[in-house]
Structure 1
Amino acid sequence: MPGKHAVRQFGLPRYSFVVVAATMLVILATWVAVRAAGPDERRTPILIVPSASAPSTSPGATTGQALPIASPAASTPVAAPQRTPASRVPERAIAKPAPSSPPAAPKAAFTADYRTGAQRNRALLGTIQVVNTGTTARGWQVTLTYDPRAGVRLTQAWNAEISRSGDTWTITGGTLAPGAGATVGFQATKRTRDPVRPSGCVVNGTPCRIA
């Protein structure tokens, strides 16, 4: 009688080993595929920064906000300051200095000393010494004024000419060079017996010295 082949039956432990081996192969193939593809470089990295608006309420808690990393902005060119050309002043607007006038001629200055001479009854004698203290040669005039009550009348003069206007007498002399002098004598009458002196004496606008 032929022998019967014995039928082998797989047990549970051998079946589990096959399942585990198949699972490992799938995981290995998946890992190789991921490594071959590499990370997606098109994704923008995320930067986590702490939020300054709301402080954390519990110790150790961190509140953050995801912000994309911004690329540096292009610097804006600064325009160079433009130089404004200086405006030209019209030639007509430029004030020209006025032509200088010629210096005024120096004025001649005179001094005069009046002295009363002898007085007898109703007559008197007087002398006037005139000096040119200026820098130019010029003629001169001495103006004498007396009290009307004295009634003085000049009758004669030496080295000068006499003119009258009321109670004012004018004695006119010649030209005197700078530093030169002249002495004039005159004779007069009066109505009073008392000594008489002039109430005013002026030589070319300068008061005389009355002695």
Structure 2
Amino acid sequence: MPGKHTTVFPLRRYSFIAAAATLLVVLVSWVAVRAVGPAQPDNRVPLLVQPTVPLGGATPAALVSASPAAASTPPPASPSPSRSASASASARPTAKPTEKTTTKPAPRRTTAAPRPPAASFTAAYRTGASWERGFIGAVQVTNTSGQPRAWTVRIAYPAAAGVRVGNVWNAQLTRQDDAFVLTGGPLAPGATANLGFEASKQVRDAIQPTACTVDGAPCRVS
């Protein structure tokens, strides 16, 4: 009887040791699992490398716009035309109005008409004797200048009278258009010359000259 009792006790001791060892193994495994943690799925996106050669004729700009980064970035908003126009208008300097300088016209100088030079001679015409087909003309010329001068007397008659001058004394006679030109001199200052001529006419009535001048100055006709 005592020998049977000693056999049961060792079996119980061995089973306790085995249970303790099993618990220890389980505890060590649990600690290892908690330390490492459960395996998590790999959610990383694989890295995409762009090809250096454009695919399907696409330009590098098209590839960049087709990439996810370019697609996610919105294009910059362009400024509206009204804002840009107003900004450019405000940026331009405002031109100051130019002041108009009014120049007064210079006063006109009213110059008096030049006076004709003083006549160097005076002359007086008169008809001496007159008859049906002729007459005698006489002219007195006076030098009013301060030096000796030659003189020129021009006499014209109506064209219808048909006057022709013949004999002349104290002068020389020429014809210029419808005028008879009598010249002489020089005449001393203050001196007087008496000249005359004989003329014929085609009218019976007495006639007077239509023009008579001495060096451009009119004659006195009597």
Larger CA Rg, structure 1 vs 2: 2
TM-score (structure 2 length as normaliser): 0.46
TM-score (structure 1 length as normaliser): 0.49
